[in-house]
Structure 1
Amino acid sequence: GDVVVAAVKSATPQGAVKKSEVVRAVVVRCAKEWRREDGSHIRFDDNAAVILDADGKNPRGTRIFGPVARELREKGFMKIVSLAPEVL
């Protein structure tokens, strides 16, 4: 659920974002295990982020692949949660 500033490492040829572009993104999956408020631990298989638009709340894309963390709902990223196929 952290918002980070990142550089695009790879992009599709006709995509909206270009390689080496500096963007704001929210982390939706983290491979490093972390503890939730209820005491449980959660860990994903990979690291993933969703690129955000200029206001920093809505995603620039219209599709999200794979599960996202439940903490996004608490931080107000409802559009990302609604697009995700699964919320863990």
Structure 2
Amino acid sequence: MIGLKGMLKVIDNSGATLAECIRVVRAGQFASVGDEVVVVVKKSRTGPNIATANKVKRGDIHHAVVVRTKFPLRRADGRYVRFDDNACVLVNKDREPVGTRILSVVANELRMKNHTKLASLAPRTV
């Protein structure tokens, strides 16, 4: 459950590392896995050894899709799945990912919520 002012790790290669939720889009008060949120980039990758072609910088406002939550997620067979952190992937207005790679695992529920592109970019779905 991601609400207003919730902090999320960004797990793609867009250049952002930490984002803060400022709005939940079409999901009610809280967002779960597969829901879309509007975020502000709080921390981005910078430094001499990082490529200067970062797609986002600190203070940018973007849409994002929640891919992992700490709050337990109930599956149809009765099992619960929860992750160690809250994470998201930045997307554009057409729901296409801003980055070209996803660097960590994502929840399998993304496939059911029509985010198959994000699930296929991830190294593993759980």
Q: TM-score, normalised by structure 2?
A: 0.65
| Structure 2 residue 50 is matched with structure 1 residue 11 | no
Q: Quick check: which one's strand share is greater?
A: 2
Aligned to 2:106: 68
Matched AA of 1:5: V
Aligned to 2:96: 58
Tell me the CA shift for residue 38 of structure 1: 2.2
Matched AA of 1:10: K
Q: TM-score, normalised by structure 1?
A: 0.90
> For the Cα contact (< 8 Å) 1:8–1:21, is it kept in 2?
yes
Matched AA of 1:41: Y
Figure out how many residues of one structure are paired with residues of the other and give that number.
Answer: 87
Deviation per CA, 1:17-59: give whole Å up to 9, x if none. Answer: 111111100000111212122211001111110000121x211
Detail structure 1 runs of 4+ shifted over 4 Å in the superposition. none
Partner SS state of residue 58, structure 2: coil
Higher-Rg structure is 2
Identify which of 25, 44, 59 aligns with 2:64.
25
Q: Unmatched 5+ residue regions in structure 1?
A: none
| Structure 2 residue 77 is matched with structure 1 residue 38 | yes
Q: Unmatched 5+ residue regions in structure 2?
A: 1-33, 47-51
Root-mean-square deviation over aligned CA pairs: 1.1
Distance, in Å, in 2 between the alignment partners of 1:22 and 1:38 is: 37
What's the % identity of the aligned pairs? Answer: 47
Partner SS state of residue 49, structure 1: strand
